[in-house]
Amino acid sequence: MKPVEWKNGKVRFLDQTKLPIEERYVETDDEEVLARAIKRLSIRGAPLIGIAAAYGVVLAANRISGSSEDNVSSRLERAVNVLLATRPTAVNLSWALDRMGRCIRESKEKSIDVLRKRLEKEATAIHEEDAAMCEEISRRGAALLPNGAAVLTHCNTGMLATGGRGTALGIITMAWEQSKLKHVYINETRPLLQGARLTAWELQRSGVPSTLLTDSTAGFLMQRGAISSVIVGADRIAANGDVANKVGTYTLAILAKHHGIPFYVAAPTSTIDAHTPRGSDIPIEQRGPEEVTTIGGIRIAPEGVHVYAPAFDVTPHELITGIITEREILIPPYLDAVRALDRSQMHSAKLHAVED
How far is residue 233's CA from residue 167's CA, in Å, rounded to a whole number? 6
Of the candidates 215, 235, 273, 313, the residue annotated as catalytic is 235
Distances (CA, A) of 122 to 37, 53, 101, 164: 21, 12, 10, 17
Quote the distance between the C-alpha of residue 256 and its chain's center.
Answer: 22
Question: Closest Cα partner for 322 from 54, 141, 58, 92?
Answer: 141
The CA angle 223-229-233, to the nearest 5 degrees, is: 120
**113 has catalytic annotation:** no
Is there a contact between 37 and 52 (Cβ–Cβ < 8 Å)?
yes
By annotation, the residues acting in catalysis are 235
